[in-house]
Structure formats: structure tokens, C-alpha cells
Amino acid sequence: MARTRIRDLIANPRVAAALTLGFASGLPYNLSDSTLQAWLATLNMDIKTIGWLTLIGAPYAFKFLWAPILDRYALPFLGRRRGWMLVLQVVLAGLIALLGLQAPSEAIYAVAAIGLLIAFFSATQDIVIDAYRADTLRPEERGVGSTATQVGYRVATWIAGALALIFSDVIGWRNTYLLMAALMGATVLLTWWAPEPERVAQPPRTLVAAVVDPLREFLSRPGAWSLLGLIVLYKFGDAFALKLVTAFLIKGVGFTALEVGAISKTVVIILTLLGTFAGGVLLARLGLYRSLLIFGILQALTNLLYALLAATGKSTLLMVIALGFDNFAGGMGAAAFVAFLMALCDARFSAFQYALLSALASVARNFLGPPAAYLVDAVGWSTFFTVTFFTAIPGLLVLVLLRRQVDRLDAQDPL
């Protein structure tokens, strides 16, 4: 089965597009999030300032507000989705270059403003990419397509994280961001080569219908509100723990940016990719419910390894173990969770519905930075990571209560 999936990943143009566009999605997000966080940490900015600056990722939580525009209107080239993607990628390349030209110690507000714009246009690109993937992949391709998306995204994470941190030590942060901007500009080729969907759903007739109809369709499903609660809570503990992990490794434990880039980020990408592939294979064998449950439990347990690292102090071996297990489990969980979100979408409203669902899923990731920073300041890193373990439990309990709904969703094509 694994051999077949790898062959599909290479040969299937729809899955290949999910892979390459996952890369285009991951690059700008990380440059305005964890990599920017590392840049600020190397300048010795205090943890509270870094925590507040994590709020520049807020557009990811609100992207559903303008998603109906992208469902209703299309640009006059490259189809309903790809035209938007190409334009947004050009804009993002320019903004990343502009961010690299700033001096955070002297212009922190300019850095925050540009970072916010990157997050806004990156979130908008994600709306279109997610809708394109939901429109394009056949039901039987969702598992491997989810895996492909995560692989592309994680490769971009490694480049925007590990390589960027390594390059920053050699060529400086400005040149590093200019290099990343050029790479972002090259993603327009991925969009140009991506295939059009086999089924082209008719867009909503009006902008009002683009908002009302998808909400009505989703909320009319059995257990809709409970499913929304599961989406919010499932990765809550994981997101809470990881929000400040780069600052933790540099400021909390004492690793340098070069060590974080060369060791931790490399471990992250390798183990996440392995976890993503394992998650895709196990998803087909275990089904959606059991995959979400097992992977969610593993994600929660790995938070305790960070607590152990904080209590032990600087240890390269323990850092590798903590990051390795955490990202292997996170890769498996992401593969199952993305497949879950895709299965919930109706092709007529995929931009709005996926944007809304993924925005709900990202609430913890986008808004827990300041609370996490203040909690760390009050109780220390070790206690903080222990607390994050317990915050993962409610999501697992909701999943258990919704087993029938998840099994029903796994057994049919909602489209």
C-alpha cells in the first residue's frame, strides 16, 4: 500500500499539485512566524514583545470573512482558483523582500505592519489553495493528497526555517529574506502548471449567497455544532505548546540560532515528513476516527518531552528526541486532520467552508502567543509545557463523543 501511495504521489497530477502548492503555502507563513521569531530572539528582544508580535498571524483566524469573495469572483485568467493564486504569490514575494529590508531594533512597528500584510495575503492564498485542493482531489485521493500537502508544506518549513536560520548566520537576515522572496516568486510556476479541476462547480449567484448558502448547507448537517467544537479543540494543546518553541530553544534553553537551524529545524522536517507518510498509510488502514484519536493522544504526550528538556537544561540529544517525537506525531495528526477538513467541504462553497473550518482550527495557533508568553513569564518553561499537555485532553474527549459522526463522515462522500 505504501509503495502504491508513493507512486501516486509522483505520477498523479492532482496529488502532485497538492504537493507543490503545499510548498507555496508553507513558505510565507513561516517567514512571518517562527523565522521572524528567531530573528527577534537573536536581537535579544524580551519574550513579551515576541509574544505580542505573534498576533500578526491573526488574519489566518479571520480569513473566512473574505473567503466568499474568492468563491463568488474569479480573475479573467487561469480558471476560478489559479488566477488568484498567481497574483497573491507575486504580492507575497514583494512583501517578503520588503520585510528583509527592515531593521527590527529600529523599526519594530514597520516589521509588525509588513508581517501582518504577509500574514493577510498568505492567509488569502491559503483560502484559494485549500479550495483548489478540495475541488480537484477525488474522494479516494484525499488521504494521499493530504499527505502530499503536508509534505510540500513541511519542505517549505525546513527551507524557511532551517535553511533561513543557517543562511542568516552566513549572509545576514536581510539577504536571507531577499533569497526567500525570490523563492516565493518562483512558486508562480507551480500555479501555472497545476491542472484544472475535473468538475467545475458553479459559483454562488451573488456575494450574499456565497456567505449564506455554505453556512446553511453546513449547519443543516447532523452534529454540525459539535463538529465545529472538535475542529477548535483537536489541536489546541499542540498549538499552545508550539507557539513559542523557537523562542524557548534560543532564550529558554540556550541554543544559538545556528544550532536551532542546523539541528532542530532539520529534525523537524525529517520527522514530520516521516510522520506525514506514516499518517497517510495508517489513515487508510485505521480509518478517520481511530487515526485522529491515536495521533491526538501521541501529540499530547510529546508536550511532556519539552517540559523535561526545560527542566534538564541544554541538551542536544534531548532536544532532538523531543522535537523528533513531537513532529512525528504532529505529522501524523496533520495528515488525518486535513483529510477530515476536506471531507467536510461542499465543492460549491469549498473556499468559504474550508477557510472557516481551518480558521477555527487555527484559533489556538494564532491567538495563544501572548497568553503563552505571560504564562511562561509567571511559571517557567517546564510548568508551561506540562500545562499544555492537559489542555489537549478536552479535544480528545469531544472526539470520543463524536465517534459516530466521524465514522459516518469517513464512510461517505459528502459531495
For residue 364, what is the domain's CATH number? 1.20.1250.20
Q: What pLDDT is stored for residue 1 in this prediction?
A: 38
Q: What is 59-126 written as a DSSP string? A: HHHHGGGTHHHHHH---SSSHHHHHHHHHHHHHHHHHHHHHHT--TTT-HHHHHHHHHHHHHHHHHHH
Q: What pLDDT is stored for residue 92 in this prediction?
A: 95
Q: How far apart are the first and last CA of the chain?
A: 26
Which pLDDT tens digit goes with each residue over 137-148? 776 676 677 777
| Burial of 335 from C-beta contacts in 10 A (0-12 / 13-18 / 19+) | buried
What are the phi and psi torsion angles at 203 (to 5°)? -70, 160
Which pLDDT tens digit goes with each residue over 80-121? 788 898 999 999 999 999 988 887 777 788 888 888 899 899
What are the C-alpha distances in Å from 382 to residues 169, 311, 388?
Answer: 29, 6, 10
Q: Which residue has the higher pLDDT, 15 or 262?
A: 15
Evaluate whether 364 touches 240 at the Cβ level (below 8 Å): yes
Average pLDDT over residues 202-229: 80
Q: What pLDDT is stored for residue 2 in this prediction?
A: 42
What are the phi and psi torsion angles at 104 (to 5°)? -55, -35
Q: How many residues does the chain have?
A: 415
Q: Does 178 map to a domain?
A: yes
Which pLDDT tens digit goes with each residue over 156-201? 887 887 778 788 877 888 898 899 999 999 988 888 887 877 676 6
Q: Does 116 map to a domain?
A: yes
What are the C-alpha distances in Å from 194 to residues 82, 122, 303?
Answer: 8, 19, 38
Average pLDDT over residues 252-262: 74
| Burial of 142 from C-beta contacts in 10 A (0-12 / 13-18 / 19+) | buried
* Counted domains in the chain: 1
Please name the amino acid found at residue 61.
A
Q: Does 201 map to a domain?
A: no
Which pLDDT tens digit goes with each residue over 245-256? 777 888 777 777
Q: What pLDDT is stored for residue 3 in this prediction?
A: 43
Retrieve residue 155's grid coordinates: 519542505
Which pLDDT tens digit goes with each residue over 347-359? 667 677 877 887 7
Q: Does 200 map to a domain?
A: no
pTM of the model: 0.67
Domain interval for residue 116: 2-195+206-411
